[in-house]
Amino acid sequence: MERIIHLNVNSEDYEVIVRPRESLLDVLRNKLNLTGTKKGCNEGDCGACTVIMDGRPVNACLVLAVEAEGQNIMTVEGLAQGPDLHPLQEAFIRYGGFQCGFCTPGMLLSAKALLDENSDPTEDEIRKGISGNLCRCTGYTKIIQSIKEAARTMRSGQVDERMRANE
Amino acid sequence: MEVKCPVCNKQRNSSMKIARHIFGTGDKSHRGWVNSQGVSFTDLLIAQAMEAGNRGFTTLAEIIERVQETA
Amino acid sequence: MNNDKHTVVGKRIPNVDGYEKVTGSAKYTIDMVLPNMLHGKILRSPHPHARIVRIDTRRAEQLPGVKIVLTGKDTLGRKNGIWRSYRELCDEEILCRDKVRYVGDAVATLAATQEDIAEEALSLIDVEYEILPAVFNPLDAMKEGAPEIHDGCERNMNVYRQIEWGDVEEAFEDCDHIREDTFYCSSQAHACLETHCAIASFSHDRKLTLWTSSQSPYYTQVLLSDMLGLREGDIKVLKPHTGGGFGGKLSLDSAQYCTSLLSMKLMRPVKIVLSRAEEFAATKRRTPIHYQLKLGAKRDGTLLAKKVRAITEGGAYTALGGTALYLTGFFSSFPYKYPNFQYDGFRVYTNNEATSACRGFGAPQANFVSESQVDMMAEDLGIDPVEIRRKNGMTPHHEIPDQAVIQSCGLQQCLDAIKKYIRKRGELPPNHGIGVSAYGFMSGGIFNWIDTPYAFSAAMVKINVDGKVDLFTGATDVGQGSNTTLTMICAEELGVHLEDITLHVGDTSVCPVDLGAWGSRQTLMSGNAVKMAAAEAKRQLLEVACYYLKPNIVYDLNIKDHWIHFTERPYRRVSYFDVVKDAIRGKEGNPILGYGHYTPHGKGMVSPAYSFGVQAVEVKVDTETGQVDLVHITTAHECGKVINPIGLEGQVEGASIMAAGWTLTEDMQTRDGKIINDNFRDYKLLLAEDVPKMTLLEVDTYEPEGPYGAKEAGEGLTIPTGAAIANAIYNAVGVRIKDMPITPEKVLRALEKKAAEEKDSEQFVAAASA
Ligand code: FES
Ligand code: FES
Ligand SMILES: [Zn+2]
C-alpha cells in the first residue's frame, strides 16, 4: 500500500514512496537524508523533530508523511541561505544557545516560527514559544538569550532595509 | 588500650574500631574470620545498616575483646 | 593571575562545533547509515525477577527479513562491569542467560532488514519464564528471607563502604547540640535527548568498528573486548557527536553489546537505537538513597562531629554504583572541616533498573541532606545560615585525613558574594524565601576502575608545514564543550589561533587514551595533557627559533599571533610559519610532534583538585496548591581560572535546572518494578517556562594543579540546588521537606500539618491561660 507523494522541503521538490503510516520525520531522515531534524522520543513530547509546515511549527514525528503532501516544509537544513547563516543560527553560536546540539534544530525552527509571527517577542513569549522543546543540557537560559538577540538583529536588519528603501 | 585485628594485626585503640576495620576491609580472610566466630558477617553488617544504634558492630567488638582476652 | 597575559584562555569563545550543530550537519550516531546495514532490536523482560526456562526464537526467525535472533546462550557468558580488579562486582551479563533481574533486562536480540520488521519479530519470540518473587525496596531486600537477586549474594548486600576520621562517638559527648534526621533522595533519569544507540560493523577481517553515543570510547573499547573476547586493538570505537551523557553513557550498554554480537554473527553492519521507553526502563539512573544523619555542634556553631549512614538502592546490577556509594559518603563531609566524621554506606541490590553515575555522582544527594540539616542546625542554634557555613567552611590547603588534600578553595569568597546578594535582594514578598547551599566537587576522580596502565589523559599535537596544528585527544565532548576548552588550551599554549587547530577526537584508533567524560575530569586532566603536548611541540619550534633570534636562554622566547618573539621585546621576532618549515626540514621532513599526558599523583584518594561554591535559590510557594516556583538562582562558583566563560555559564545554568528538575518534578514512578512514567509526558523535565533568571557571581581563584589554574565546572553545579530549594521553601512557608521529590502534594500536606499543629498549640495556650 505504498504510494508516491510529492513533498516540498526547503523549497525543493521531492518525489518519495511512502507507506501510509510513515511519519514525516522518518521520511525526512531516512528517505531524504535530512538528518538535521532529530528524533528524541517519536511520541510528540520532546520537540527535537520540530519543522515548519506551512508556517506553523509541528512535531514531524506526529505528522504522517502523506499529510505533508503539497505543504511547504522547512527543516534546519533550509535555514541558512548559501554561505549566510540565519540570524538565529548566528546568535545560537555567539551566545551559546546549545551544548550537545541535539535539541538545537528543533529549537531553531520553533524560534523561527515564533519570530515569523512576532518580530519582537518578550522573554515570556519566547519561553512559551519554545515550551514544547526539551533541552537537557542548557537550562534554556542561553537559548532564550540567543533568540532575543537574533530578534534584535533581524529587526535592525529590517530597519536597515527600510531605510535603504527610503533613500 | 591497643586492640589488634585478629586477622591482619592492625592496631587501633578500641575493639569497636577494629570491628569497623574488619567490616571496612571485608576481604575473604576478614569475612571468613567473622563467620568462624559463630556469627554471620553479612547479618551483622545488615543489622548495622537497618537498626538504630550500633548492634551489628558492637557484637563483633565484643567478640574481638573476648578473643583478645583469651589470646 | 593577570588575565591580560592570556590571548585565548578566559575569553568568551563560541563553541568550536557550532557551525555543524546549528546547521543540522552535525552527525550523531542516530543519524548514521552504513551500506548493507541491518536494524536490530532487543527483547526485554516484562518481569522484575524470573528464571528463563526456555526461549523459542523459531517463529521470529521465520519472519521474512529477519536475519538472526540471538540469546544469552550465544554469548561467551561473561559478566560486564567496569571493576576489572573486583570481578565479583562485574555482575551484568547484558544479554541474560538464566535469569532476569529487572523489568527491561535483555533476553534476546535480533537483526532484520527493516526496523519495523525487527520490531514485529520481537513479538514472535516466545520466552517461558518462571516468575520469582521480587523485591523493590533496599530495606526489604536486606531482610532475612528476601529473594536472592544474585546467586550467593547474601541478603542482597552489594557493597559496603566506610569513611572515618577522628572519633565521632567521643566528639558527640562534647557537643552542646545534636540533631538526628532522616532523609530520602529520589532517583532521576539521565534523559539525554539522544537515546543510547550504536552501529557495529564486524567483517571477515575479524575487526570490529563501533559507532556509538558514549562518554568514554576507551571504556567502551575495553569492556567490549572483555565481553566479546577480542583484542582491544581489533575494536575501533568511533564517537560521532553525542546528544548528552550525564553519566548515563559511561557503562557498556545493551545497544553497543547487542549490535556487536549481531554483527559478529552476520558480518554486516547492525544498528540499534533505544526507544525513549527503553531509555527510561533499561539503561541506568541516579541512585536513590536513604540517609540517617547525626550532626553535633558547639553552641557557637562549630560543627564537631558528623555521622552518616546511607542505604543506597542499587537496582539489579553494580554498574558504577560502588563509586556513587563512596562519593556520597565523602561529599557528605563537604564543604566543612569536620574534625570527626564517620560514614557507613550500604549498597543493596533490588529488582529495579540499576543505579549508577548521574551528574554529580552521589554528591547532589549528599548535599541535599547535609545542607538541609546544616540549615536546621543553624536555626536550632540561632545562627545565620551563611555564618554557620563560614565558620566551618573549608579553606585552602585543608587536609582531610587519609582522603584528600585541598589546595585552592574559594568557599569563603563565595559565601561573601552570596551574602552580599541576599542583602541586596532585601525584603522578600510574602511566601517567597531564599535558601542557600554550599558545596564542593572534584575535578576528576583518581579512580582506576578499569585498571588501565595508561595515563588517565593523553594528547598529541602535530604541527604541519603550513602551520596548521592537529590536536589528537581521547577526551569526549558530549555537549559540555570539552572540544572548545581543549582547542583553546592548545591555542593558548602554542601561541596560534583557534582556526589553526584541527581537532581529532572520538576515534580510539588514532586518539591517545583518555578515560573520557565523567567526574568533571576533562578540563583539568585532559587540559593538562593537551597543555603538555602543546608545550612540547612549542619547545621544538623555539629550539629552531633560537638560531634566528639568538636569545640568552630559550625561555626568553614566546609565540603569539604567528610570531616567535622575545617576550620582553616583541618587535624582535621571526615568522612562526618560517620556523615551522625549517623545523620540519631539519627533522628530515617529519612533522613536529608533541605528546602530553596526565595522571594525578600525590593528591589523596579522590581528586587532584576541588571546586567550591555557594548557591542561593529564591522560590515562591503557593500555599493553596503547594506549587513551588523558582524565582531566581544565584550561584557563586569558584572553579579556578575560567577557561571559557560561555562554557562555565552554560554548565551552571544547565546543571542547576537538571538538579531543580530532580528536586521538584522528575518523579520516576514504578509499579512492581515497572517504570510507569517512561515518557516525557509523564516524566517531567523542566521547560523553558519553568526556568528562572539565573545569575553567576564571579569569584577568582587559582588552582596550581590545573591548566592555567582551572578546575571543574560540570557536574559540581548539580550539587547545591536541591538543598537550596528545600531551605528556600522552609524560609518561605516554614515547612521542611526531607523526602524528595518535593511535589506540591508533599508541600501541601506539610502546610496542613503545620497549620494543625499551630492550632493545637494555640488551643493549648488558650486553655492554659484560661
Ligand atoms: S521526536 Fe517528535 S516530539 Fe520527540
Ligand atoms: S543542547 Fe543538549 S539537549 Fe539541548
Ligand atoms: Zn585486619
Find chains touching chain A: ≥3 CB pairs under 8 Å.
C
Ligand 2 site residues (CB inside 6 A) read A 98-103, 135-138; C 193, 244, 479
Answer yes or no: is C768 within a domain. no
For a mutational test of ligand 2's pocket, the pick from C193, C484, C653, i.e. the residue with the most ligand atoms closer than 8 A to its C-beta, is C193
Check pLDDT > 50 for residue C2.
Answer: no
DSSP state at residue C223: H
> Which of these, C278, C261, C279, lies nearest to C67 by C-alpha position?
C261
Are residues A93 and A74 part of one domain? no
Distance A46 CA to ligand 1 centre (A): 5
Is the Cβ–Cβ distance between C752 and C469 less than 8 Å? no
Distance A105 CA to ligand 2 centre (A): 10
State yes or no: chains C and A have 3 or more CB pairs below 8 A. yes
Instruction: Dig out the grid coordinates for C498 from the structure.
Output: 583557534
Q: Give contacts of A43 with chain C, Cβ < 8 Å.
A: 276, 679-681
C697-723 burial, b for 16+ CB within 10 Å, e for fewer? bebebbbebbbbbbbbbbbbbbbbbbb
Answer yes or no: is A151 within a domain. yes
Instruction: Dig out the grid coordinates for C739 from the structure.
Output: 523526602
Least CB–CB distance from C688: residue in A40, A98, A130: A130
DSSP state at residue C770: -
Interface of C with A in 247-286 (CB under 8 A): 275-276
CB-based burial label for C494 (10 Å; 0-12, 13-18, 19+): buried
Answer yes or no: is C85 within a domain. yes
Answer yes or no: is C177 within a domain. no
Q: Judge whether C189 is closer than 8 Å to chain A, CB to CB.
A: no
Answer yes or no: is C180 within a domain. no
For a mutational test of ligand 1's pocket, the pick from A61, A63, A103, i.e. the residue with the most ligand atoms closer than 8 A to its C-beta, is A61
Q: What is the CATH number of the domain that holds C328?
A: 3.30.365.10
Check pLDDT > 70 for residue A51.
Answer: yes
C41-72 burial, b for 16+ CB within 10 Å, e for fewer? bbbbbebbbbebeebebeebeebeebbbbbbb
The secondary structure of chain B as a DSSP string is: --EE-TTT--EESSHHHHHHHHHHH--HHHHHHHHTTTS-HHHHHHHHHHSSSSHHHHHHHHHHHHHHHH-
> Which of these, C702, C715, C652, lies nearest to C518 by C-alpha position?
C715
Are residues C205 and C109 part of one domain? yes
Distance C193 CA to ligand 2 centre (A): 7
Are residues C627 and C490 part of one domain? no
Answer yes or no: is C362 within a domain. yes
Q: Which ligand lies nearest to the CA atom of residue B18 in the structure?
A: 3
Q: Tell me the residue ranges of DSSP E strands in A54-142.
A: 56-59, 72-74
Strand partners, A74: A52
Nearest-atom index, ligand 1, CA of A46:
4
Is the Cβ–Cβ distance between C535 and C543 less than 8 Å? no
Are residues C557 and C408 part of one domain? no
> Which of these, C187, C50, C40, lies nearest to C105 by C-alpha position?
C50
Distance B24 CA to ligand 3 centre (A): 9
Q: How far is it, in rounded angstroms, from Cα C765 to Cα B50?
A: 40
Ion ligand 3: residues, CB within 5 A, are B 5, 7-8, 10
Answer yes or no: is C184 within a domain. no
Contacts of C770 (CB under 8 A, 6+ apart): none
How many CB atoms are closer than 10 A to CB C603? 17
Domain extent, residue B64, equals 3-13+20-70
Are residues C627 and C695 part of one domain? yes
Check pLDDT > 80 for residue B70.
Answer: no
Task: Collapse the DSSP code of C41 into the 3-class scheme (helix H, G, I; strand E, B; otherwise coil) and give the result.
Answer: strand
pLDDT given at position A163: 52
pLDDT given at position C544: 96
pLDDT digits over C284-308, tens only? 999 999 999 999 999 999 999 999 9
* Confidence tier at C719 by pLDDT (50, 70, 90): very high
Give the C-alpha distances (Å, rounded to integers) separating C401 from A84, C145, C161, C341.
Answer: 59, 40, 16, 10
State yes or no: chains A and B have 3 or more CB pairs below 8 A. no
Answer yes or no: is C297 within a domain. yes
Domain extent, residue A94, equals 87-156
Find chains touching chain C: ≥3 CB pairs under 8 Å.
A, B
Least CB–CB distance from C24: residue in A36, A39, A141: A36
DSSP state at residue C156: G
C744-762 burial, b for 16+ CB within 10 Å, e for fewer? bebbbebbeeeeeeeeeee
* Confidence tier at A167 by pLDDT (50, 70, 90): very low
Answer yes or no: is C407 within a domain. yes
- Structural domains of chain B, count: 1
Domain closes at, from C281, C305, C331? C281
For a mutational test of ligand 1's pocket, the pick from A23, A28, A46, i.e. the residue with the most ligand atoms closer than 8 A to its C-beta, is A46
ipTM: 0.96
Are residues A99 and A62 part of one domain? no
- How close C592 comes to chain B (CA, Å)? 50
Answer yes or no: is A114 within a domain. yes
Q: What is the CATH number of the domain that holds A145?
A: 1.10.150.120
pLDDT digits over C187-246, tens only? 999 999 999 999 999 999 999 999 999 999 999 999 999 999 999 999 999 999 999 999
- How close A167 comes to chain C (CA, Å)? 35
Contacts of C94 (CB under 8 A, 6+ apart): C80, C106, C227, C252, C253, C254, C257, C258
pLDDT digits over C628-686, tens only? 999 999 999 999 999 999 999 999 999 999 999 999 999 999 999 999 999 999 999 99
Check pLDDT > 80 for residue C4.
Answer: no
Q: How far is it, in rounded angstroms, from Cα C384 to Cα C34?
A: 62
Domain closes at, from A56, A78, A100? A78
Domain extent, residue C493, equals 18-25+456-598
pLDDT given at position C770: 63
Domain closes at, from A78, A109, A144? A78
- Structural domains of chain A, count: 2
- Structural domains of chain C, count: 3
Are residues A93 and A53 part of one domain? no
Are residues C387 and C259 part of one domain? no
Are residues C416 and C314 part of one domain? yes
Q: Tell me the residue ranges of DSSP E strands in A3-126.
A: 3-9, 12-18, 50-53, 56-59, 72-74
Length of chain A: 167
Nearest-atom index, ligand 2, CA of A137:
2
The residue of chain B nearest to residue C159, with distances taken between CA atoms, is B26
pLDDT digits over C316-337, tens only? 999 999 999 999 999 999 999 9
pLDDT digits over C520-547, tens only? 999 999 999 999 999 999 999 999 999 9
pLDDT digits over B17-56, tens only? 999 999 999 999 999 999 999 999 999 999 999 998 889 9
Are residues C481 and C336 part of one domain? no
User: Ligand 1 within 6 A of A127 CB?
Assistant: no
Q: Is this prediction's pTM over 0.90?
A: yes
What percent of chain C lies above the pLDDT cut of 90?
95
Nearest-atom index, ligand 2, CA of C244:
2
Are residues C700 and C615 part of one domain? yes
Q: What is the CATH number of the domain that holds A23?
A: 3.10.20.30
Are residues C326 and C415 part of one domain? yes
Are residues A65 and A11 part of one domain? yes
Answer yes or no: is A164 within a domain. no
Please answer yes or no on whether A76 and C244 come within 8 Å at the CB atom: no
Least CB–CB distance from A76: residue in C17, C23, C689: C23
Q: Whose CA is nearest to atom 4 of ligand 2?
A: A135
Instruction: Dig out the grid coordinates for C480 from the structure.
Output: 559540555
Centroid of chain to Cα C188 = 13
